[in-house]
Amino acid sequence: MNIGYSVCLAALSITVLAACNKTSDHNPQAIIKTPSNTQQASPPIAKKIPHEMTIHGDTRVDNYYWLRDDKRTDSAVIAHLNAENAYTEARLAHTKRLQSTLFAELKGRIVKDDDSVATKLGAYYYSVQTRGDNEYPTYVRSGDDKGTDQHVILDVNEQAKGHDYYAATGLSVSPNGNLLAYGEDTVSRRIYTILVKDLSTGKLLEDKLEGTDGEIVWANDNKTFYYIKKDLQTLLGYQVYRHTLGTAQAEDELIYEESNTSYYTGIGKSKDQQEIYIFHASTNASGVSVIDANDVKAQPKRLIERAENLEYSIEKLADFYYIVTNLNAVNFQLMKVHKDQAHDKANWQTVIPARDAVKLEGIDLFANHLVYKEREMGQSRLTVRNLTTGDEQQLSFNDSSYRVTAYGNNELDNPNLRVYYTSMTTPASTFDIDLNTGDKTLLKQQQVIGEFNADNYASERLFISARDGVKVPVSLVYRKDKFKKDGTNPLLQYAYGSYGATMDPSFSSGRLSLLDRGFVFAIAHIRGSQMLGRPWYEDGKLLNKKNTFNDFVDVTKSLVAQQYGAQDQIFAMGGSAGGLLMGAVANQAPELYKGMVAAVPFVDVVTTMLDASLPLTTNEYGEWGNPNDKLYYDYMLSYSPYDQVSKQAYPNMLVTTGLHDSQVQYFEPAKWVAKLREFKTDDNKLLFKIDMEAGHGGASGRFKSLADTALNYAFILDLAGIKE
């Protein structure tokens, strides 16, 4: 049984990040000291070494291609990155006091000694603790939900000692409760070593499995488990192995290998613990292979053959599969079939039909109840159906816009539904909801230390017309006594807009540092997410990708026109694919923004998507297109932030990355910043901060990572003229 998701989601309420890092072997001679006179600090100018790339009869010249160093040991590259850090340090030296103030605020709102709500898994109740100034969580369990005879199963603080970076993931306890398997990463490349701990003795077994994605699923014999091995070049998990405790990894049995590099591979287990699943997922298709959890010699069997544009997921109840699928349903429907007849889609029977305006997002099964999650007009909701009577009740909450997620519902016979709930003014809350009556019991709400009072803040939900007439949802929050709606408030606009990822409105104690200083914070739910259903995603990817960028710009213009923000005090922020958004918007409409923060930005779209050796390239042809096809090449090239840098004025910009980033390689933002320095015609700040020990998720630890937030906020507040 895997406790990772349940416990980690519970940990959200106590602001825990269980991820960490390793010191890179950089050349000490390359370190450049911070200039003492910040006004005389000069930006690093990268040398230009032309690198030609020709395809489809088109030749691009990349003068900064040399900044790519896959081994991260090139002294010239490291020297340049250190010079960028030194320059950023110098240009932001005058904000040190503000950064310290912000860090103290951010840290001061977090409860140091905290416990998540216990989640039942088998015979035990599992929870996560944070104590004092510890950076990492401690995972514990007890025999009841009151914490009687509580025992530590993994103290991540102890594991992290001696490492600049440390991540623990995929905690999974054997069916008999005696063994704990987990993955650890000390480099921040998301390549994990699986370790196994005897919970009765506290000692590690000799089993040590390298090069994995960190997740395992136990067979029911308590000595066999399944795991996924990664390709160490592309970082793609593509092989599923079966391991028997006490044997060498070299003896493990390969039971599945994914030959199609556009698919991701995952593993899981049915709630009744009788089946193990291999999940296959590409951008446009998905599937499941099934393994008998009671037979350690069983081979995986495909539920049905995979098909392009067919997506489905399954949940098992007794001898039936409940299937959430897009089969004849753009916004998905729920179907049901006896497991022995599932191989033929003609046997699948509709339980909840497809609807044009409502997207079915997922289900949770109990012995006598079905809980399903839908989204309509951008708002998700949960409905409970009695499987015997067919009666339904829709769960209600106080906020007009919110995020609600079922989690930790590991027992089929549980009488309650456990949910995580939050809004932009309501701290993270855990409820148990009686499946029969719908009565809610609040088990815990995230405590915000200090003078926080939810009544001081207000949240709004708007629909803003984009240039093509489509209405874009926007969630925003502000402090009532600081907001005038007269066009004088500074405003920070955030968005992501890719992969169908929907950023529901949720609470952030850190964000209070902006709101309390008069900022309005807005989330633009632009196309590329699924905020308005699956078509909203389809209209923001591939040859529709520019809708994502246009939506963001049009939201900004409307918020200014409606006087939610001051025209000369608008800021933007996005990370990863949201960093691509920042780059594209900076090229398209730089005059709208006083400052931007682009975190781990995916900005060199064409070059990356032409290089199948890089992580995530082939998997994402369905998201961006394959530039080996000229149609997609030309379209990507027309918006790729790196390729479209031009001689114009750009906003003040802070760009961040991690040297060991496994998702967006550090050299993408490094090249982008170098090219921006060459082309931009303004005197605005262009700062590049590289965490030389971190990866895609940034610094590890619940407090250490706050320094990054403080830096980002200080950059924005300083530009807004707010000095303390």
| Distance of alpha carbon 305 from alpha carbon 320, whole angstroms | 19
| Distance of alpha carbon 351 from alpha carbon 336, whole angstroms | 7
Strand, helix or coil for residue 104: helix
Q: Which residue has tokens 């092989």?
A: 239
CB contact set of 331 (below 8 Å; sequence gap of 6+): 354, 355, 356, 357, 358, 359, 360, 533, 534, 535
CB neighbours (10 Å) of residue 301? Answer: 12
- Name which of 339, 331, 400 is nearest 362 in CA terms: 331
| Distance of alpha carbon 75 from alpha carbon 79, whole angstroms | 6
670 and 80 Cβ atoms separated by less than 8 Å: yes
CB neighbours (10 Å) of residue 309? Answer: 10
491 and 516 Cβ atoms separated by less than 8 Å: no
Give how far the C-alpha of residue 544 lies from the chain's centroid of Cα atoms, to the nearest Å.
23
- Count, residues in the chain: 724
142 and 164 Cβ atoms separated by less than 8 Å: no
CB neighbours (10 Å) of residue 568? Answer: 10
| Distance of alpha carbon 479 from alpha carbon 684, whole angstroms | 29
233 and 204 Cβ atoms separated by less than 8 Å: no
CB neighbours (10 Å) of residue 586? Answer: 26
Strand, helix or coil for residue 161: coil
Residues with a known catalytic role: 576, 661, 696
* One-letter-per-residue 3-state SS of 81-98: HHHHHHHHHHHCHHHHHH
| Distance of alpha carbon 238 from alpha carbon 257, whole angstroms | 6
What does 632-658 look like in DSSP terms, one character per residue? HHHHHHHH-TTTT--SS---EEEEEEE
707, containing H or E segment: helix 706-719
* Whole-number Cα distances in Å, 26 to 30, 239, 571, 663: 8, 33, 34, 21
| Distance of alpha carbon 572 from alpha carbon 593, whole angstroms | 7
Q: Residue 175 burial (CB < 10 Å; 0-12/13-18/19+)?
A: middle
Structure-block tokens of residue 36:
């003492």
Give how far the C-alpha of residue 568 lies from the chain's centroid of Cα atoms, to the nearest Å.
31
**Strand 369-376 relative to strand 379-386, pairing:** antiparallel
Beta bridge partners of 152: 140
